[in-house]
């Protein structure tokens, strides 16, 4: 299996499959493919279907298998980047909802609940995130440009709402107030920041969808 990521700032990944190789993705994620691939749709049981709905994914997944050498492509839904992440047993990744594009069959995409309610309700990343585990290659989409921080044990980074894209499962996440009421009301940074503590790597994104939507002018009826 080989792949190429191109097309920034509206990227897509095109993957070359050998006979017998498979990729899975959520329903509707495929952008284009060659004629040598066949598709099978699975739901994965009520439990998995429910968890996918909670993380913003389609309740069904499609599995594409190559009967002959072929290719398949997946495009990002927003301007940004597509990352190829290698998942290994015991080295899980936690990422924002709806970041998963496609993966090899050995990767498991499941629900991840924030253990601390504060991080879920006030941290801006959501109470529910995605957990990538198992073994294989997964493609995820990041909003905007990417910055990777390597945190030492106990080292922490404060992140504004929405800028956390992904982190290794060795990291922990909580929330912290921005300070005084004056800071919260007049500083323009909101009431809380997300705090991620190491050890582990953290992927930050420069343009969260929420920030992009907020920056767009509202449409005026009749114009």
What pLDDT score was predicted for residue 206? 93
- The whole-number average pLDDT for the span 59-82 is 92
pLDDT digits (tens, 9 = 90+) for 18-57: 999 999 998 888 999 999 999 999 865 545 555 555 545 5
Contacting residues for 45 by C-beta, under 8 A, at least 6 apart: none
Structure tokens at 150: 């390597």
pLDDT digits (tens, 9 = 90+) for 151-176: 999 999 999 878 999 999 999 988 77
- Contact indicator for 77, 141 with CB cutoff of 8 Å: yes
In a domain, 221, yes or no: no
Domain count within the chain = 1
In a domain, 122, yes or no: yes
Has this prediction a pTM greater than 0.85?
no
In a domain, 223, yes or no: no
What pLDDT score was predicted for residue 8? 84
In a domain, 189, yes or no: yes
What pLDDT score was predicted for residue 218? 57
- The whole-number average pLDDT for the span 89-117 is 85
Domain that holds residue 148: 2-215
Q: Report d(CA 201, CA 45) in Å as an integer.
A: 33
Whichever domain contains 22, its CATH number is 3.60.160.10
In a domain, 120, yes or no: yes
Radius of gyration of the chain (CA): 19
In a domain, 171, yes or no: yes
In a domain, 220, yes or no: no
In a domain, 38, yes or no: yes
What pLDDT score was predicted for residue 193? 80
Q: Report d(CA 223, CA 219) in Å as an integer.
A: 7
What pLDDT score was predicted for residue 122? 47
């Amino acid at each position: 299996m080989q792949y190429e990521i191109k097309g920034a700032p509206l990227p897509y990944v095109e993957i070359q499959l050998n006979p017998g190789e498979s990729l899975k993705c959520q329903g509707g994620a495929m952008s284009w493919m060659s004629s040598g691939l066949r598709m099978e749709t699975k739901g994965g049981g009520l439990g998995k279907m429910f968890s996918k709905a909670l993380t913003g994914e389609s309740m069904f997944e499609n599995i594409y298998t190559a009967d002959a050498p072929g290719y398949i492509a997946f495009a990002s839904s927003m301007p940004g980047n597509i990352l190829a992440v290698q998942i290994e047993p015991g080295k899980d990744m936690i990422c924002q909802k709806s970041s998963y594009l496609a993966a090899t069959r050995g990767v498991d995409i499941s629900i991840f609940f924030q253990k601390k309610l504060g991080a879920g309700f006030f941290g801006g990343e959501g109470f529910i995130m995605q957990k990538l585990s198992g073994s294989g290659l997964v493609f995820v989409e990041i909003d905007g440009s990417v910055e990777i921080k390597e945190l030492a044990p106990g080292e922490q980074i404060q992140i504004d709402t929405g800028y956390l894209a992904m982190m290794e499962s060795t990291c922990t996440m909580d929330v912290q107030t921005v300070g005084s009421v004056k800071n919260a009301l007049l500083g323009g940074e909101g009431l809380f920041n997300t705090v991620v503590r190491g050890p582990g790597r953290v992927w930050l994104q420069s343009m969260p969808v929420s920030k992009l939507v907020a920056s767009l002018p509202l449409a005026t009826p009749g114009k």
